Amino acid sequence: MNRFFIVSLMACLFACATVPLTERRSLNLVPDSEIIALSLQQYKEVLGKSKLSQDEEKVQMVKRVGERIARAAEEFMRESGREADVQGYQWEFNLIDDPKVVNAWCMPGGKVAVYTGILPVAKDETGLAVIVGHEVAHAIAKHGNERMSQAMLVQLGGIGLSLALTQKPAITRQIFQEAYGITTKVGYVLPYSRLQEAEADRIGLVLMAKAGYDPREAIALWERMSRRESGRTVEFLSTHPVPETRIENIKSLLPEAMRYYKGDR
């Protein structure tokens, strides 16, 4: 039997986690404490190289929406019996002043950045809640850890995997940097697979609903995003499913999300 297959099978058996809400089993080889520490370091570096917005009204909107989504995420995880999974999260929401970048992201551990270029697409707080909810969903689903773990399996292979896991954090830091593509202009977001994107949409709708934002407005947001994409490349959509597919999927998810919506809080 192929040695790489054996090691991969052992990794799946001993390092599997489940994604909130979907209950899909995912591979998490990197300890949360380590990936959060690396994320914090990267976040500080990004902010240090970026120009933060001085528009107080917009800054406060980002923080207000972010804090509501974060509270909803913690409440959702607590109700799901998974409070420990977000125990080390240190939520932080910053608005980066770059009107040319239509993007937002959330690092493992709760560090969030929104670029001013995405605000016209968001249009209002509810539109922004769709975006932030989606990105926070990636974080609590530990999609970043999963992508890093997959990269470790592919990049290191076979016997090298067990060796690499004994050499953390150096090897993990290297893979973390490669997975996040830190040498690119806006390469601070993992190239999530379509499966992860669908999970983030589903969880994100629940989070925004629990935060008091109407999840039905997600359809309008993605329609605006689709129109924006037709004009030029949008980083936020660069590795995502086509908007038409996403919108149809979101429509099918709305009945579930609406069960969590109690109106504006």
Active-site residue (options: 74, 83, 92, 135): 135
**What's the token pair of residue 31?**
């300890």
Please confirm, yes or no, whether 135 is among the known catalytic residues: yes
**CA angle (250 as vertex; 106, 17 as ends), nearest 5:** 50
3-state secondary structure of 81: coil
**CB–CB of 114/104 below 8 Å?**
yes
- Rounded to whole angstroms, the Cα distance separating 185 from 31 reads 28
How many Cα neighbours within 13 Å face the side chain of 76?
26
Amino acid residing at 11: A
Residues 6+ apart with CB under 8 A from 108: 32, 35, 36, 39, 139, 142, 144, 145
Q: Residues 74-93, buried b or exposed e (16+ Cβ, 10 A)?
A: bebbeeeeeeebbeebebbb
Write out the catalytic residue numbers: 135
